[in-house]
Amino acid sequence: MPSGAQLETFASGVETAVDVAQIERQLHELWQLASESEKDPAQRQITHACLFNFVVLCETDTEAAHATEVVNALTDRHPCRAILLSVGADAAQSELSASISAHCHLAGTGQKQVCCEQIVIRATGQSVLHLGSAVLPLLESDLPTIVWWQGNFLRRNDLFRRLVSVSDRLIYDTSAWPDPQPQLANLARAITEHSRCNFTDLSWTRLGLWRKLAAEFFDEVHCRAELTCIRAVDVVHGRGPGASLRARLYGSWIAAQLGWPVAWAKARIHLSERDDSDATSVGMLSVMLKTDDATFSIRKNYGENAASATIDMPNACGLPRKRAFWPTDDASLLSQELDTVARDAVYGKALSMLIALLKESTGPMAS
């Protein structure tokens, strides 16, 4: 049985090394000790909470450290059992080691802390091949399993297949993939092949406000009629990882939702990059949807973390709507995604359209 000091170490977030085979037992004993300490007001008051299994793939030490920070922020709103799989670069030495710690947050205004456990499993060399078998027994039963794969999961086919078969959701970020465009067809194949799992691209999540602002234009009936007459979609993007891919995905989304054939999409979607010195010129910068009678514009505001949406159309209000961008750090994007459980069929349609457009190598959607 662990001591009170070990519980204190665990709850304060300090990692404790543990044998991989003993992880479950150690955690069980620590939580049992925590529940006993609840009866003593002098002790730290802890409640263990878990709504899902959260498996995180980390390919470098930097990614592992980042993942710990993200899990700490995330568990404030989304309590889970976090299992960090750290894949080491040292191919010569085969090693599998583990540690456990907790992320605790004060619940409301009370003194009680809501705590979630974090398990880190580090594998190097041949042990990487056995990571899957180390993870599966650690998944809490009857709870969904969500995998956040930092980096490109297509490059680790064995581990990907092992994890995706037991996962309800796979979250990844094509913006962080080096040269993602050639791999989109493989991505689409993986999505089709593993239809039980819900695939979520954080690049798509980053487009959330842009999609919302565009959708809001056409909630009113007199504007909606214009949707059938759009003759041009101008998307301008700036610098930053994945900015160009997101701009293409956005254009593809509009084309897919409006049911355009690929040839129409190719002719009507215009992409351009603006590379100026302004520090805010990263990611998506502006979108214009043009018809013969109206222009619907969304622009990222210079120097502000906000976008403005304007309608230029007879009998329409010309005042800009201003909306703050949702935070785009990984913890916020993940939190936003974890708030929804529904499968996002729209992303699949946008991705298919993007792939079809990329095949038309001479079009504006090509890199």
Partner 1 sequence: MQNTLTTNPLREGVSTRQAPGPCALVIFGATGDLTHRKLVPALYNLAHEGQLPQSFAIVGFARRPKTHDQFRAELRESVAQFSRFQPINPAVWDSFAQAIFYHQSEFGDTKGYQALGTLLKKLDGERGTAGNRLFYLATAPTEFTGIIQHLGANGLVQSEDRPEISCRIIVEKPFGRSLATAQELNHELADVFGERQIFRIDHYLGKETVQNIVALRFANEIFEPLWNQRYVDHVQITVAESLGVEDRGGYYDKSGALRDMVQNHMMQLLSLVAMEPPTALEAEVIHDEKVKVLRSIRPITPDQVQQFTVRGQYAKGSMAGKPVPGYREEKNVPPDSRTETFVALKLFIDNWRWAGVPFYLRHGKRLPKGVAEIAVQFKAPPAVLFAAESTAPLQPNALVLRIQPDEGIAIRMNAKVPGNELNLQPVKMDFRYGGSFGSRSPEAYERLLHDAILGDSTLFTRRDEVERSWRIIDAIIAGWDASPAPFPYESGTWGPPEAEEFIERDGREWRRP
Q: Which residue's CB is nearer to partner 1, number 107 or number 288?
A: 107
Q: How far is the CB of 311 from partner 1 (least distance, A)?
A: 8
In whole angstroms, what is the distance from residue 309 CA to residue 300 CA? 9
In whole angstroms, what is the distance from residue 330 CA to residue 134 CA? 26
Q: Which residue's CB is nearer to partner 1, number 91 or number 302?
A: 302
Q: Which residue's CB is nearer to partner 1, number 87 or number 207?
A: 207
Q: How far is the CB of 170 from partner 1 (least distance, A)?
A: 18
Q: How far is the CB of 365 from partner 1 (least distance, A)?
A: 19
What residues form DSSP beta bridges with 312? 295
**Do 323 and 310 contact (CB within 8 A), yes or no?**
no
Contacts with partner 1 by CB under 8 A lie at 47, 49, 51, 76-79, 107-110, 114, 208-209, 211-221, 224-229, 254, 257-259, 301, 304-306, 308-309, 311, 316-324, 344-347
Q: Which residue's CB is nearer to partner 1, number 16 or number 291?
A: 291
Q: Which residue's CB is nearer to partner 1, number 64 or number 351?
A: 351
Q: How far is the CB of 121 from partner 1 (least distance, A)?
A: 26
- Residue 227 class from Cβ within 10 Å (0-12 exposed, 13-18 middle, 19+ buried)? middle
Using CA atoms, how far residue 33 sits from 1, 83, 126, 216, in Å, is 8, 22, 36, 52
Question: How many angstroms separate the first and last alpha carbons of the chain?
Answer: 60
Best CA proximity match to 296, nearest among 306, 288, 308: 288
Q: How far is the CB of 105 from partner 1 (least distance, A)?
A: 9
DSSP 117: E
